[in-house]
């Protein structure tokens, strides 16, 4: 079976969808021929073979609202011999290219998130999106909660199947002890960690404001367009001495931060944060999680009272209260951490995700 995965970008480009795409495709590559087609981020084509996965990065001619425009994708899809196409959305140009290409291979769509903020542009794009959804044999969502709350998927629920994102838990259990010790020496004995792109829906501004009443160091790992704004928030809140912007970290350095920290926070404020795979990584490393009760799959990943604490979104005081409660109670942190490890093994293991996807592919081809 030849499967073509159509995404925006692929690692080393950072992002939750990108890391999911790599984990899924490397797992699938042990059973079938996998090709990934994404944007290169520069005006040239590049092909790599990465851990058994053929990655074709097409020349990007423009970037519109974070969506790469690769004109050659239309002809590439037209000529593709793939037995099945797996499209990862939101990805407006790829959806348009697939329609224009005339490619009629069976289609699976991974619905990572609704388009939430670009409402005017979405009105123009919505007919294209619905045409692809009608054509899809199956639509994968990462949680039953996101499926239930998506206004777009409401008319296509009979085609939807829930397959949660998965990671390789063993990757997060054996950190570099020297790096862990280095982090604790540099940042102290009380560390709060958050990871993600610096974009509005992550809610990092609320977390920074929460640090006004938290006696700990906040480490923010990531990068993005709101870096300068978040630095100004820290200045205005008077917590510059409590907040460290780490930038994008290499995997080994990030894993060390998970193990150096006391707890993890995902303060998301909008359903653009559909799942929060960084929660799973933190749980695999044994960290309790503070997340928010947004209308998506986020609060269904780390469960309130089992693996962490869930608070209302856009509420810095509630974030601070939850963080302080965990910092003051080592036994509670340990209990939530142990439960988190178990939950990852039982519900968010990459091997399970890959196996369920393979079963779905077989069903689609028999359709």
pLDDT in tens, the chain (367 residues): 999 999 999 999 888 899 999 999 999 999 999 999 999 988 899 999 999 999 999 999 887 777 889 999 999 999 999 999 999 999 999 999 999 999 999 999 999 998 776 666 667 778 889 999 999 999 999 999 999 999 999 999 999 999 999 999 999 999 999 999 999 999 999 999 999 999 999 999 999 999 999 999 999 999 999 999 999 999 999 999 999 999 999 999 999 999 999 999 999 999 999 999 999 999 999 999 999 999 999 999 999 999 999 999 999 999 999 999 999 999 999 999 999 999 999 999 999 999 999 999 999 999 7
88 strand-pairing partners: 110
**Gyration radius (Cα) of the chain, Å:** 21
Task: Say if residue 203 is in the same domain as residue 94.
Answer: no
* Cα(219)–Cα(49) distance, integer angstroms: 34
Query: CB neighbours (10 Å) of residue 279?
Result: 30
Query: Cβ(311)–Cβ(305) under 8 Å?
Result: no
Tell whether 91 and 141 lie within a shared domain: yes
Helix 277-284 with 16-28: angle, nearest 10 deg: 70
Residues 187 and 111 in one domain: no
Q: Is residue 114 located within the same domain as residue 205?
A: no
Could you tell me if 153 and 107 lie in one domain?
A: yes
CB atoms within 10 A of CB 34: 23
User: Do residues 184 and 260 touch, judged by C-beta distance below 8 A?
Assistant: yes
Nearest CA-CA partner of 196 in 249, 156, 242, 157: 249
Per-residue confidence (pLDDT) for residue 67, from 0 to 100? 82
Print the domain residue range for 44. Answer: 2-166+349-365
Do 114 and 26 sit in the same domain of this protein? yes
Length of the chain: 367
Cα atoms in the Cβ-side hemisphere of radius 13 Å centred on 225: 5
Q: How far apart are CA 86 and CA 128, in angstroms?
A: 17
Do residue 75 and residue 191 come from a single domain? no
CATH of the domain at 47: 3.40.50.2000
């Amino acid at each position: 079976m030849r499967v073509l995965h159509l995404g925006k970008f692929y690692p080393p480009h950072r992002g939750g969808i990108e890391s999911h795409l790599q984990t899924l495709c490397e797992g699938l590559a042990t059973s079938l021929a996998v090709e990934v087609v994404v944007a290169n981020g520069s005006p040239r084509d590049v092909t790599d073979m990465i851990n058994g996965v053929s990655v074709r990065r097409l020349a990007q001619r423009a970037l519109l609202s974070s969506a790469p425009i690769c004109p050659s994708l239309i002809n590439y899809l037209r000529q593709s011999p793939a037995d099945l196409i797996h499209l990862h959305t939101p990805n407006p140009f790829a959806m348009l290219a697939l329609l224009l290409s005339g490619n009629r291979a069976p289609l699976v769509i991974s619905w990572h998130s609704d388009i939430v903020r670009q409402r005017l542009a979405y009105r123009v794009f919505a007919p294209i999106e619905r045409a692809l959804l009608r054509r899809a044999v199956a639509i994968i969502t990462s949680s039953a909660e996101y499926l239930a709350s998506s206004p777009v998927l409401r008319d296509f629920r009979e085609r939807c199947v829930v397959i949660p994102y998965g990671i390789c838990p063993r990757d997060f259990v054996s950190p570099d002890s020297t790096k862990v010790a280095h982090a604790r020496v540099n940042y102290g004995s009380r560390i709060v960690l958050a990871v993600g792109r610096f974009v509005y829906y992550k809610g990092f501004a609320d977390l920074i404001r929460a640090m006004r009443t938290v006696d700990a160091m906040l480490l923010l790992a990531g990068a993005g367009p709101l870096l300068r704004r978040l630095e100004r928030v820290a200045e205005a809140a008077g917590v510059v001495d409590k907040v460290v912007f780490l930038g994008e970290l290499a995997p080994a350095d990030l894993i060390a931060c998970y193990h150096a920290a006391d707890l993890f926070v995902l303060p998301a404020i909008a359903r653009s944060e559909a799942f929060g795979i960084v929660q799973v990584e933190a749980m695999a490393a044994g960290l309790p999680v503070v997340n928010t009760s947004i209308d998506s799959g986020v609060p269904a990943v780390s469960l309130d009272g089992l693996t962490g604490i869930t608070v209302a979104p856009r509420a810095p005081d509630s974030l601070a209260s939850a963080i302080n409660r965990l910092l003051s109670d080592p036994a509670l942190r340990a209990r939530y951490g142990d439960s988190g490890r178990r939950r990852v093994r039982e519900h968010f293991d990459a091997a399970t995700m890959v196996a369920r996807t393979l079963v779905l592919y077989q069903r689609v081809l028999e359709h």
